[in-house]
Chains A and B, each alone.
Chain A
Amino acid sequence: MINKIVGTAKEAVAEIFDGSTVMISGFGEAGSPIELIHALIDHGARNLTIVSNNTGNGHIGLAALIENKQVRKMICSFPRTANSVVFPELYRRGEIELELVPQGTLAERIRVGGAGIPAFYTPTSVNTPLAEGKETRIFNGNPYVMEYGLKADFALVKCKIADRYGNLLYNKTARNFGPVMCMGARRSIVQASRVVELGMLDPETVVTPGIFVDKVVEISNPLSENQLIKENRRYPWA
């Protein structure tokens, strides 16, 4: 029998080891698996490389993971936003590494990583500082930069509905990096707002096929980062 459902977020992240590379879904708050991230803070794995579009907000979720000194390196496209305070400070002190990747290149590197493609060529970043030191090649008279596929040991992803095979549906623009991260990681760990019986999801509308998913935990009322930031909360909870 296949049953990818696990009981708690703690159990879901227990296998994450020191030094691993972890993809974390989300674009700002939308799609960020905050309960799984908090479970990873409790778990304590260190020296992590995190692949995520941003670096978290306030002192909760991804920002709290960074603040707790569990992250060695960030691979992301936009490390600062209105509410990001933790990463900029550590970065300026030289205490965290940054690999800055254009957003579309980041999504594509994750997608091809999951598709077994080691590298690809793109015009994005040609003639800019982000192409320095990278191999370039001319196709049809135009220059392209070679970018490597990205693979991770784990993905932490938030979705709306899942079944025990790991088939997933998302919610609006919270889908963002979730589907490609499930493909790009060796082990995909998902929090779903609702788990339904097999057959309840229309096969025509499944977004992430269960083959890309390893564990699902039901978190029926996920925390709102916006709300926590308004309340000036920190994780671990004071």
Chain B
Amino acid sequence: MGINENKGWNRDQIAARIAADIPDGAYVNLGIGLPELVANYIPQGREVIFHTENGLLGVGPSPVKEEEDDELINAGKKPVTAIPGACFFHHADSFTMVRGGHIDICVLGAFQVSREGDLANWSTGEPDAIPAVGGAMDLVQGVKTIIVFTQHTTRSGEPKIVESCNYPLTGKGVVSHIYTDYAVIDVKNEGLFVREMAPGIDFEFLKSCTGAELKLYE
């Protein structure tokens, strides 16, 4: 996916860093792609229930090949399992969980995140692209805490954390925390606060590859 494997955290380390901040008892929705890795790193002793918007609470690990079931899949249409205590439900109930504020945390990917927590992650706005939105706009408006899991810059080195998004928005002012290969950043009314930097990353370097003002906690 172009996450810089040489500097800062790799994608599994980012996933583990996010997982470490998910509290016991949380109901969590993981976006398609990189965010799915977070499920592999929930610390022992914590019970976290994963929701997938196509109708399952209690998503378990990937099945072995012989046990794959075309009718037991996640939102990325990949085969999954259901844990003991899981339940199935239809789409309107599933999105009542999402839109009604019943899901605690959602981890999503991003094209861009702005200083004010605007998220762009569904369309690059290119004229010949086939627009597809899925559940992203529902998740960002309805879930209590939105976490972004992304590389700090694009493949060509452009900042993904920007003053203001130029891609079409998924939601305005919706992101609470950003976890990248370089840092953990909290989005607050007063701006973007760096909570933690990956080993080998310093504040000057971080600022040089970020397109919005960063602050340090006092």
Contacts and interface: CB of A to CB of B under 8 A. Distances in A.
Contacts of B110: none
Interface stretch (A2-10, A13-21, A167-175): A167-175
Contact of A78 (B91, B99, B133, B142): B133
A177 interface: yes
16 contacts: A27-B73, A29-B70, A29-B77, A30-B71, A30-B73, A80-B132, A101-B133, A103-B95, A108-B92, A129-B169, A172-B69, A172-B72, A177-B91, A178-B90, A179-B92, A180-B91
Given A29-B77, A173-B56, A175-B88, 14 more contacts: A27-B77, A28-B77, A77-B132, A91-B130, A102-B134, A103-B134, A107-B95, A111-B92, A126-B171, A127-B171, A128-B170, A129-B123, A172-B82, A177-B91
Contacts of A98: 131
A136 interface: no
Nearest to B91: A107
Contacts of B90: 107, 170, 175-180, 207
B128 interface: yes
A222 B90 CA distance: 21
A110 B92 contact: yes
Contacts of A129: 123, 168-169
Contacts of B92: 107-108, 110-111, 179-180
Nearest to B97: A104
B95 A104 contact: yes
A27 B54 contact: yes
Contacts of B112: none
Contact of B137 (A87, A107, A128, A207): A128
A91 B95 CA distance: 28
B89 interface: yes
Chain A contact residues (Cβ within 8 angstroms of B): what range?
35 or more
Interface in A212-238: 224-226
Contacts of A172: 56, 69, 71-72, 82, 88
B71 A103 contact: no
The secondary-structure label for the interface of chain B is loop
Contact of A173 (B55, B128, B135, B169): B55
Nearest to A89: B130
Nearest to A226: B70
B interface, how many residues as a size bin? 35 or more
Contacts of B141: 122-124, 126
Nearest to A177: B91
A79 interface: yes
Contacts of A125: 137
Contacts of B73: 27-28, 30, 173
Contact of B138 (A53, A80, A124, A226): A124
Interface of A: 27-31, 53, 77-82, 87-88, 91-92, 98, 100-108, 110-111, 122-130, 170-180, 207, 224-226
Q: Which of B52, B77, B169 has the most CB of A within 10 A?
A: B77
Interface of B: 52-56, 69-73, 77, 82, 88-92, 94-95, 98-99, 123, 128, 130-138, 141-142, 168-172
B96 to A, nearest CB: 8
B61 to A, nearest CB: 16
| Closest 7 A/B residue pairs (Cβ) | A104-B138, A104-B95, A107-B91, A174-B71, A127-B172, A103-B135, A179-B90
A222 to B, nearest CB: 10
Residue of B55, B89, B133, B168 ringed by the most chain A CB atoms within 10 A: B133
B52 A124 contact: no
Contacts of B53: 103-104
Nearest to B136: A102
A122 B168 CA distance: 19
A176 B133 CA distance: 17
Contacts of A81: 77
Nearest to A80: B130
Nearest to A160: B71
